[in-house]
Every structure is written in structure tokens, then in C-alpha cells.
Amino acid sequence: MNRVLIIAVHPDDETLGCGGTLLKHKSNNDEIHWIIATDLQESEGYGVSAIKERDDEIQKAGALFGFDSISQLNLPTTKVDEYSMSKLVAKISSVINKIKPNIIYLPFKSDVHSDHKYIFDAAYSCTKSFRYPFIEKIYMMETLSETEFSLSTKEDSFVPNVFVDISKHMDRKIEIMKVYESEIHDHPFPRSERNIKALATYRGVIAGCEYAESFMLVKEIK
């Protein structure tokens, strides 16, 4: 049995980037754990109703996935860069040491959103083998509306080398994504049902299946 951790910068990143893969892990009796880095806060101008709606969405999505644990770091969205790297590392490290995952999914290092960049850097700092010897595999995931807008340079391009057949879990992935009503809209908005399926179809062509999710393997220790 694997112990899997997804580090989502914002709620819905877990569904967009590796929702089908998480469901596949769960169907294989793996443990799945969810870190949510940011949330909506009144001090940042969000109303009580919007905050409650987001909290309800997280609970609904968590139940549909069947997460074994949900940990919220409570960082204000779009303002992760205002925290020192040492504080970010400490927050993430505390959860990782509690869960002790052997597989971790991270945001892509060059996602256009600054929150994604900072959380990747902090999370990757929590994967050193001499401090976290239980970690065996680290992946970066592809998140619609963030990854495709990264710079088109060799260093910043998402070049997947791992593909997961999620054909049996695609409908459930869409069902969970629809929980986030404020985050999914019609095409050509990136986070639309049409575009989620289009990306999965394209990755499926490469993998030789109907639908797939793709990842970059950062490290594997056997």
C-alpha cells in the first residue's frame, strides 16, 4: 500500500492536476492525503458567504475523493510570496513528517501563478532523503490555467514523462470539479469541462488510452 500526498496550492488544483490519478490510487487501496496551501480570508476582502462556500466545496470534494486526511496551511491566496521561505517550509514539513508519504505530487515549478512557484520551492525543500527517508517518488503535475501559461523555454516547459490511464475515473473527476462552481466555466475558459476532457484526451493519445493525466517525474528512489 502506498501513502500518497497531493500538495494543492488552491482547492481544485488537486482535481485538475491529478484527480483521476488520486481516484486510481484510492481504488488500489492506497492512502491519499491532501494539503491545501491557501484559503479565502476576511482580512483579504472575502465575504463570510464566499468563505463558507469554499469550505463546503472542500468538504464535498474531500468526501468524493475519500481522502484519509485534509490539512490546511491557511495561507492567504495570492499572497504566499509575503511569507519567508523558512516559514513555508516549516508548515509543509510538519504535515509531511506526520503523514510520511512515499509518493508526493507537487505543482509544476514554472506554473505562472506566483503562489504555485513558492509552494513548489518550499515543498521540494521538504523532500531531502536524509531528512525525509520515507519519500520514494516525487512528481510535478499539470494544472489547467497555470501550467500551459508558463514560459515556452526549455527550462520552463512542462515535458511529461509519466502518464496515468484515468479512463475509468474521468467521469468522477468531472463530477468533483463541478463541486467548485466558481472555478469552472464554459470554453474557452481553461477550467471548463470541455478543456479538462480535451487535455485528458490528448494525454491519452500519447499513453494509448481514452483519458490520461501526465506528470514529470522529479525523483525516484528504489
DSSP symbols for 25-86: HHHTT-EEEEEEEEE--GGGT--HHHHHHHHHHHHHHHHHHT-SEEEEEEEETT-GGGS-HH
Structural domains present in the chain:
3-220 (3.40.50.10320)
Per DSSP bridges, beta strands 3-8 and 31-39 are: parallel
Q: Tell me: the pLDDT tens digits for 14-57? A: 999 999 999 999 999 999 999 999 988 877 668 888 889 999 99
CA distances (Å), 2 to each of 25, 49, 52, 103, 173, in order? 8, 37, 33, 7, 21
Residue 38 is predicted with a pLDDT of 94
**113-172 per-position pLDDT tens digit:** 889 999 999 999 999 999 999 999 999 999 987 888 676 787 889 999 999 999 999 999
